[in-house]
Amino acid sequence: MIVIHVDYRVRPECVEEFRDRLRRHAKNSLGEPGCLTFDVAQADDDAGRFFIWEIYTDDAAVKYHGEQASIAEFRDAAEPMTVSREIAMAKLVTGD
């Protein structure tokens, strides 16, 4: 299984819109084949910081996710709202 962790920092004036778009993106992603988890969290100490945890069954599911129009739409909308974005990918070593 493939785990993706994304750490977003968002402009203060964009927090509400970003959160709404991220919720829709999560819902769309969970409907994709091979997407087992797509959790979104907002930091307690920084309203403009969001974390995403995604788990996919395999590389093919990650590839499929990356090819969807919904991810391109989310990224296009999120880019001007985003201060920074850090992505980490890993293989799950427990529970696989």
Residue 96 pLDDT level (bands cut at 50, 70, 90): low
Output the pTM of the full model. Answer: 0.89
Q: Cβ distance 56 to 4 under 8 Å? A: yes
Q: How far is CA 76 from CA 33, 43, 60, in A?
A: 23, 23, 23
Top-tier CATH class for 2-91 = alpha beta
| Mean pLDDT of the chain, nearest integer | 94
Closest CA to 50 of 37, 39, 35, 40: 40
Answer with the residue of higher pLDDT: 38 or 95.
Answer: 38
- Mean predicted confidence (pLDDT) in 9-22: 96
What does the pLDDT look like over 29-61, one tens digit per residue? Answer: 999 999 999 999 999 999 999 999 999 999 999
